[in-house]
Structure 1
Amino acid sequence: MIAQSAYKFSNDLRLLQNMKEVEEPFEKGQIGSSAMAYKRNPMRSERISALARFCLSLPINTSVTASTQWFERTLDDSANKRIVIAQSFLALDGILNLYINIAENLVVYDKVISKHIEAELPFMATEVILMECVKAGGDRQALHERIRMHSMESAKRVKADGLDNDLISRIKSDGAFAAFSDKIDACMKPENFIGRAAVQVDEFIADIVNPLLNKNKNLKVDLKDITV
């Protein structure tokens, strides 16, 4: 389970670093790539992924060992255990050391995140715009079709031509949305589209994380050197 969680974390971080939204720590003078000098490869996250994948492969070994035993335990069981159990703990130790190092030194590029949100927000907002227009007396099916057409054209503009997303300006200039056009900008707030995410994070920290930290506040953690 630790390996599963760590793999998910490291894989997501690698994707976010590729999007230039988040970055793992990068030491002064660190080589990001032996071939391409400009790169800053997420080496720590890649190592977590590698070690976690190794850990995830070990349960099949233990299952095969257990299922092939004769009437009583034989030496192929004990010899196998000596390898698998030790390797599991050593690999997880490495994973957790890397995990802590990344978490303590994570870099977040909020302006890049905002840029990506702004690029996708018009598509996300269409459902709200549609519902509000229907409340104002509009025909849902007709408005849905208008939004669908405008969305396809805007998506084509973004993907085929590499231009900005102009979906909101298209909707505003469409007479079918005239009754609500002056209120569309009020719908374009990112915080309106995150549900209970912020509250859930606060609750998780208060109810789960902080009690664990307080319970183990006297625990000394001797982190090994994280070399790249």
Structure 2
Amino acid sequence: MRRIKADGSAARIAIASLAGISLIAQIRVPERTVTGTVISSERDPKIRIELPATAHYIGADRWPLYDIADCELHAFVETGTNKIVRRLYWIQFEQYLPTRPDLHHTYDSLRTATLGGMSFYVDTWARPANAPTRPGSDVEHMRGLVRAKGYSLPGSMMSVRLVHLLHDAKRKELMIIYSEDLSPTGFTADDLSPSGRARNHWPEIDKALLYRALAQVKIVQPG
């Protein structure tokens, strides 16, 4: 059998792969801490996220998302007496694993917002709460946390997604999703879709939703 001499580049890839496999095995316990309605993160980024006192913490999940990213999700809800979610606060810390040095986060949204002195990409939407999702997705994990605590999502929700990319490499991100039950608007997700009968109402609903999201979530950076 002909021997092939590995160069430095191949050796580095092999080491990164082994490190990544080890990291995947370790991705189990959430790293950030929660006290009441406050999430404290010591790295990536080092911040404190404060939510309204009316929010209820339903837990966290940490897993290797599609075996390419270390994903840590924390969820809070506000509900009515029937345990149907009225508001959802979804906080997620995510970074690509060393085994995939080729991957970088990309967002094409032209909308941005500033929260706690940090810049975020902004996206909004209205969707059925049970819309199909890819197996193993972060959406699937979030829904699992909600169900595990005996809560139910409403028929449709309207959401704001805020994404902050760390460093120029764009391999780490902080994602905050704020969602509300859509029913108080009197419309369904189909009504507000691009071809829906009430699409002309979406800009006003969108604007008010973003305002509430930025008002409900507070970010405090050290120093």
Instruction: Give the alignment's TM-score, normalised by structure 1.
Output: 0.20
More strand by share: 2
Relative to its length, the structure with more helix (as a share) is 1
Structure with higher Rg: it is 1
